[in-house]
Amino acid sequence: MTLLTAHRILIGAAIAFFAFYALWEYAGARGTGGGPGGMARGTASLLAAGGLGVYFLTLRSRGGPGA
């Protein structure tokens, strides 16, 4: 496994975590009265997931060994 492959795996896991956390915060803000703080954390998490997603796409264009 190359370092770039490991980096892609970790970035993908971070994207999944941020997306899950955003859904968690949005559900909490609706159900238990998390209020505007929960919505703000969910939005920040979605923005982080989007930023990492853009970064992940730039990694896809870079080839590994022999590319």
**Residue 21, domain extent:** 15-61
pLDDT per residue as tens digits for the range 49-64? 999 999 999 987 766 5
Q: Does residue 10 fall inside a structural domain?
A: no
Total domains, the chain: 1
pTM of the model: 0.81
For residues 22 and 46, the answer to whether their CB atoms sit within 8 Å is: yes
Q: Does residue 32 fall inside a structural domain?
A: yes
Q: Map tokens 């971070």 to a residue.
A: 14
Q: Does residue 47 fall inside a structural domain?
A: yes
Q: Does residue 21 fall inside a structural domain?
A: yes
Q: Does residue 5 fall inside a structural domain?
A: no
For residues 34 and 28, the answer to whether their CB atoms sit within 8 Å is: yes
Res. 65: pLDDT tops 60: no
